[in-house]
Amino acid sequence: MRYSPTLVDHFLNPRNAGLMRDADGSGSDEYAGCGDLTRFYLKMRAGCLAEARFQAYGCGPTIAAASVATELVAGRAVEDLLVLKAQEIEDALDGLPEDRKHAAEVAAGAMRAAALDALRRRPGNREA
Amino acid sequence: MNRRVYLDHNASTPVHPEVVAEMLPYFSDVYGNPSSVHGFGRDARAAVDAARDRVAAFLRVRPEELVFTSGGTESDNFGVKGLALARGSGHVITSRVEHHAVLRSAQALEAQGFTVTYLPVDQYGMVDPDDVRRALRPDTIAISIMHANSEVGTIQPVRAIGALARDAGVPFHVDAVQTFGKVEVDVHAMNIDALSFSSHKIYGPKGIAGLYIRRGTKMVSIQHGGEHERRRRAGTENVPGIVGLGKAVEIRARDMKAEAERVSALRDRMWEGIRARVPDVRLNGHPTERLPGTANVCYRNVESESIVLGLDLKGIAVSAGSACTAGSVEPSHVLVAMGVPLDWAMGAVRSSLGRSTTTEDVDFVVASVTEVVSRIRQAMPVGAA
């Protein structure tokens, strides 16, 4: 198996999969090369992540990266999510093959977009 | 993982035990070079001749009309380039759904100044013989159309195309790698002048295949060296491989018809099972003119590779209809040519059944596919979530 046991576990048992209707922020990212798409929905409490859910279209690593990201960032401040790096997600999956690095990049990009959305929609911030 | 189910017989097959047994002496006992004049060489030559006779009898052609090659890809290269290059210049007709061995050979000819028409196909992946007729030009020098498509299983109307080719006096090459030993191939009724066939798709060894060249057909070699294969394909013969191919063909002659009926029924059972349990699926390929064991199914809005991974983790081997390489997904050129929309084409999974496939295997696959696709769709941004 070219994928780590952690990746396989997240693919077989995705954590926090599915739509969240009353999210405080949502964002997605797409990998142009292959059309892989990841979307996160965030529920914030006191500026920190209370709950994250994901939807993903793509190969096994893309689904697993989105799943592991929802656990990885639990409880983090929204500002920290704005700078989430793909490497951190890849590390949480115990590595990705060279030709599947985009799975972590898409997940990280989607999480940053969702965090930015949450920040804009934060009460008192009228930018949104 | 206990149960293992192999549904990728269009990619390769396990070598039949009787074939292995027949091959074994030719590795260490009869190891001479068939070109050598001594007894060791003569023994090897006798084995090659006997195998050639077996294949010729199966195809109902003369033994000297067969050239052994290293694989289907070489046979296709030889068939397409050999016919074209023998005529120096001109126009070649092929289709958009050919194997890459044919398509890229045609592209190589274009780079050398030949012109090539890539015929379209209908929604079932079938070439219209009328399109062949319309594509024919005074300078057309070769036609190459596959017998059956490896991805979707559609069987082309090669008999009608062969008749057109014969009327026009244009040599006709057929890539029969997926049909040889599986369904009837009649080079006479189909007016085929060159026919590619392979061993490892029919329970023979890898690394051995062949090209039938009708007597009198002008061809040039694409591999040069010694005087082997009547100076048409240089290189010491793969004696164990040739012996294995001969035995595999003999077994196919015996088992082909019964197996075709059996795997067709299993294939239908599988598709009916999937269709009844999984929403948003479609079967690709022609409903009746198709390979017995091939089922290419699209799961809408699911990426095929995730299904292949999910099934692999259950011990089931199928193949993805789209290939993701280095982060770039290419939908199958066959499905694109058939006009399958992208949201379907990206979720194409091919199962190809074979002699070892059982009813229990098929039922296990149906249950597994149902579970895997349902799970992936739960995490999907669109579709059946």
- Does residue A126 sit within a domain? no
- Does residue A13 sit within a domain? yes
Which among B303, B327, B379 has the least Cβ separation from residue A55?
B379
Q: Residues of A at the B interface (Cβ-Cβ below 8 Å)?
A: 3, 8, 11-12, 14, 17-19, 28, 31, 33-37, 39, 54-60, 62-63, 66-67, 98-102
* Amino acid in position A69: A
Residue B226 is predicted with a pLDDT of 92
* pLDDT band with cut points at 50, 70 and 90 for residue A33: confident
Residue B385 is predicted with a pLDDT of 37
- Does residue A24 sit within a domain? yes
**Residues of chain B contacting A37 with CB distance shorter than 8 Å:** 381
Work out the minimum CA distance from A16 to partner chain B, whole angstroms. 9
> Cβ atoms within 10 A of the Cβ of B261, count?
11
Q: CATH no. for residue A41?
A: 3.90.1010.10
**Residues of chain B contacting A56 with CB distance shorter than 8 Å:** 379-381
Stated length of chain A:
128
pLDDT at B326 over 70: no
**What is the 3-state secondary structure of A3-34?**
CCHHHHHHHHCCCCECCCCCCCEEEEEEECCC
> Cβ atoms within 10 A of the Cβ of B276, count?
10
CB contact under 8 A, A99 and B326: yes
- Does residue A128 sit within a domain? no
pLDDT at A88 over 70: yes
Stated length of chain B:
385
* pLDDT band with cut points at 50, 70 and 90 for residue B327: low
pLDDT at B120 over 60: yes
Residues B5 and B13: their CA atoms lie apart, in Å, by 12
- Does residue A35 sit within a domain? yes
What domain range is A47 assigned to? 5-120
Work out the minimum CA distance from A14 to partner chain B, whole angstroms. 8
Residue A34 is predicted with a pLDDT of 76
**Residues of chain B contacting A35 with CB distance shorter than 8 Å:** 329, 346
* pLDDT band with cut points at 50, 70 and 90 for residue A128: very low
Mean pLDDT of chain B: 95
Residue B43 Cα to chain centre, angstroms = 32
Mean pLDDT of chain A: 93
Q: Where in the sequence numbering do the catalytic residues of B fall? A: 324
> In this complex, is the C-beta atom of B385 within 8 Å of any C-beta atom belonging to chain A?
yes
pLDDT at A123 over 90: no
Residue B11 is predicted with a pLDDT of 94
Q: Residues B96-104: what's their mean pLDDT?
A: 96
CB contact under 8 A, A17 and B378: yes
A57, A67, A68, A98: best mutation site toward chain B, by most B Cβ within 10 Å? A57
Instruction: Go through the domains of chain B in sequence order and give each one's CATH number.
Output: 5-12+255-378 (3.90.1150.10), 17-251 (3.40.640.10)
Residues B54 and B64: their CA atoms lie apart, in Å, by 12
Q: Residues A40-49: what's their mean pLDDT?
A: 95
* pLDDT band with cut points at 50, 70 and 90 for residue B380: confident
What ipTM was reported for this prediction?
0.82
Q: Please write the tens of the pLDDT for every residue from B309-323.
A: 999 999 999 998 766
Q: Please write the tens of the pLDDT for every residue from B187-223.
A: 999 999 999 999 999 999 999 999 999 999 999 999 9
Collect all residues with Cβ–Cβ distance below 8 Å to B288 and sequence separation of at least 6.
none
* pLDDT band with cut points at 50, 70 and 90 for residue B238: very high
The answer to whether the CB of B70 falls within 8 A of the CB of B99 is no
- Does residue A127 sit within a domain? no
| Number of domains, chain A | 1
Work out the minimum CA distance from A27 to partner chain B, whole angstroms. 12
Which among B310, B328, B379 has the least Cβ separation from residue A54?
B379
> In this complex, is the C-beta atom of B317 within 8 Å of any C-beta atom belonging to chain A?
no
Lowest mean per-residue pLDDT among A24-33, B271-280, B374-383: B374-383
pLDDT at B10 over 70: yes
For chain A, the C-alpha Rg in angstroms (whole number) is 14
CB contact under 8 A, A99 and B327: yes
Residues B305 and A61: their CA atoms lie apart, in Å, by 10
Collect all residues with Cβ–Cβ distance below 8 Å to B25 and sequence separation of at least 6.
none
